Every structure is written in structure tokens, then in C-alpha cells.
Amino acid sequence: MPREIELLGFYMPTLLPIFLLAFALQWGIDSVLGRLGFYVHVWHPALFRFSLFVCLLGAMGLALYR
């Protein structure tokens, strides 16, 4: 897998689109969990949200570079 992706003559790191995709997925999952009332049972919602994002980004990054 290339380390950079060319988009309209602009080189960007491969992890940038993965970061944006992980952010969008985390936002969607967060809104669903919020509507279901899941965060009532979570000790620290902000820490849970950040951990969810890190897990998504790490999983997609590992899948990309494996």
C-alpha cells in the first residue's frame, strides 16, 4: 500500500482518509448509542467516545497496512 495518495495533484498521507472515515463511523455509532441510552451505563462518556475512535482508527489502519 502506498504511503501517499495523490488527489488532484496533492499528495496526502494514506491515513488521512482512514482518519476521516473512522471519525464518520464513530460519529454515527455515537449517535446511535446516544439514542439508545447507552451512555447512562458508561462511567466516562467522553473517554468511551475517544476510545471507540482510537479502536476504529487502529483497526482500519492495521487492515490497510497488513
Give DSSP secondary structure letters for 3-53: SEEEETTEEEETHHHHHHHHHHHHHHHHHHHHHHTGGGS-S-HHHHHHHHH
Higher pLDDT, 5 or 54: 54
**Which amino acid would we find at residue 49?**
R
Q: What is the pLDDT of residue 44?
A: 95
- What is the span of the domain harbouring residue 46? 4-65
Number of independent structural domains in the chain: 1
5-32 pLDDT, tens digit per residue, is 888 888 888 888 899 999 999 999 999 9
| More confident site: 51 or 5 | 51
DSSP state letter for 59: H
